[in-house]
Structure 1
């Protein structure tokens, strides 16, 4: 089991692809997030989620066994390590958070990414390239979720 949340920080002015935000992950073994750290671990959330979707898609398509993800303009990171049985250990700060299947991970990340899209990505100006990149990454990730459902 894994829960994933992406959020945009308030009071940043007009919506931008460079808006700061946070990630939070919770699993049966623990939780981790970018909120409440010194120094601040907030990230350019729209760009970071796009990168996460693209990196996870590559991991799942190529059969790679390890992904060390770090968000854009932050030191917050998450590690994904797949074992021979296809189970992925999700860790942050060298602490395991959960063990999940590709399908569980894909579904949780995709649901959180869709929620961010509906809540803030649609508010980005249409000419903002972060908006187009975000939706392209979401569309590219969708078949992985459907395949594992």
Structure 2
């Protein structure tokens, strides 16, 4: 059962520059984009949730919506849009343009996933090794550990 008495100080002050797009996409990017991007000094990973969410965007339109919200927030804070955010959004849009929109595996059969993986020239580099560092078959996993990537 979801909590009904939690206090969210940000909820009332969270900007929503485009309610129509928020409704269409089912999210307000400002929820993530209001966070600052700083180097992790051991006290947390400020901004990393935002970048992780950008890597999970499923459509080009959503990438562009996020970029618009970043520009809106920058203008209202009298700053330029952050390079790391813009670069991450442009990179995600390019990935979606190359690989197609949507969740990577959604709606694909096993054969289609293998075919796409072949097209992308991808290869698994994980190997199991025993205590002597010798490769171990994946079917014989007892006592094996993950070895370094080749």
Calculate the TM-score normalised by the size of structure 2. Answer: 0.28
Greater fraction of residues in helix: 2
Structure ranking higher on relative contact order (CA contacts 8 Å, 6+ apart): 1
Larger Rg: 2
Greater fraction of residues in strand: 1
Calculate the TM-score normalised by the size of structure 1. Answer: 0.28
